[in-house]
Amino acid sequence: MPTLELDQIMLDHCPGSASLRTPTLTIKKCPQCGGEVEVFSNDVSVTCSTCGFVVYNDTLSCVQWCKYAKECVGEETYHKIMARMNAAGQK
């Protein structure tokens, strides 16, 4: 299979990109106070509204290493996520 076709298949079927292009909500338990924290799939981190603890989202890692990330999630989303990661010190 030519590389170009393989590249297009990867962009069309990447399991990580769907949750970044169309964010989904996950309710996590705050490890400090036990409160509920709403984390969207495109959030890098969220602060617990009860105690102020910062809860990190570990689902964004593919944007850091995947060579298709910018094309896969779109340039605007890619730059937003990378800026958030840089601000959070996760890069």
What is the full per-residue pLDDT of the chain (91 aa) written as tens digits?
A: 444 454 554 555 566 666 666 788 989 999 999 999 999 887 878 999 999 998 887 655 577 777 888 888 788 888 887 887 777 664 4
Q: What is the pLDDT of residue 16?
A: 61
Buried b (16+ CB within 10 A) or exposed e, 12-43: eebebbebbeeeeeeeeebeeeeeebebebbb
Reading the block at residue 28, the tokens are: 């996590």
Instruction: State pTM to two decimals.
Output: 0.53
Q: What is the pLDDT of residue 89?
A: 66
Q: What is the pLDDT of residue 53?
A: 95
